Amino acid sequence: MKWADVDTTHCGVAAATSIVGDRWIPLILRDVFFGVRRFDDLLTHIGVSTAVLSNRLGRLVEHGILAKVRYRSEGSRHRYEYQLTERGLDLLLVQLALADFGYEHLVDADKRLVDFVDRSTGQRVRLGLVREDGTVIGADSLGMQINEAAASEHQM
């Protein structure tokens, strides 16, 4: 079966893109990953309008990617912050993939703002393709297999 014949209504890329496929969401997630978690801080750092930020945060909470948490720090009054859920943490790989590509091809190497490291050793970390036995392969060795049963389930 050819990919061109597959019914893509249940495609993972399409599903993920329906949430993350937006100019603002990746920037919001990036900032949350990096510790910017309050509405106003996101607002000024990202440079987005209140309406859009409100809308996108709502969407992310609705999809279980962020959790809106009310907290009270010493002496001051309560505040809200947006925390990554476990599901949200899984989007880290998407972020990293975007960052890798951006710094590899679009931003001057000497302007690279951030490095990803292994916290225990400080070594640089990149994204890679990992087999089940833990070994790493190159992108040119990657193939794909269509799951015939699922792919034809909703065909006419």
Partner DNA sequence: CAGTATCCCAAGCGATACTG
Partner DNA sequence: CAGTATCGCTTGGGATACTG
- The binding site for DNA (CB under 7 A) comprises 22-24, 38-41, 48-52, 54, 57-58, 68, 79-82
> Does residue 43 contact residue 78 with C-beta atoms inside 8 Å?
no
18 binds, among a second copy, DNA, none (CB under 5 to 8 A by kind): a second copy
**Residue 105 to residues 6, 15, 38, 109: CA-CA distances in angstroms?**
32, 26, 31, 9
49 binds, among a second copy, DNA, none (CB under 5 to 8 A by kind): DNA
- Please, what is the minimum distance in Å from the beta carbon of residue 39 to DNA? 4
Nearer of residues 31 and 81 to DNA, judged by Cβ: 81
33 binds, among DNA, a second copy, none (CB under 5 to 8 A by kind): a second copy
Nearer of residues 40 and 148 to DNA, judged by Cβ: 40
| Rounded-to-integer distance, Cα 39 and Cα 61, Å | 13
Please tell me what DSSP assigns to residue 90. T
Which residues does residue 71 pair with via DSSP β-bridges, in sequence order?
79
- Please, what is the minimum distance in Å from the beta carbon of residue 78 to a second copy? 20
- Please, what is the minimum distance in Å from the beta carbon of residue 57 to a second copy? 16
- Please, what is the minimum distance in Å from the beta carbon of residue 36 to DNA? 11
Nearer of residues 50 and 152 to DNA, judged by Cβ: 50
Angle between helices 12-20 and 25-33 (to 10 degrees): 80
Nearer of residues 139 and 156 to a second copy, judged by Cβ: 139
Q: Which token pair is 90? A: 């899984």
> Does residue 64 contact residue 82 with C-beta atoms inside 8 Å?
no
> Does residue 59 contact residue 13 with C-beta atoms inside 8 Å?
no
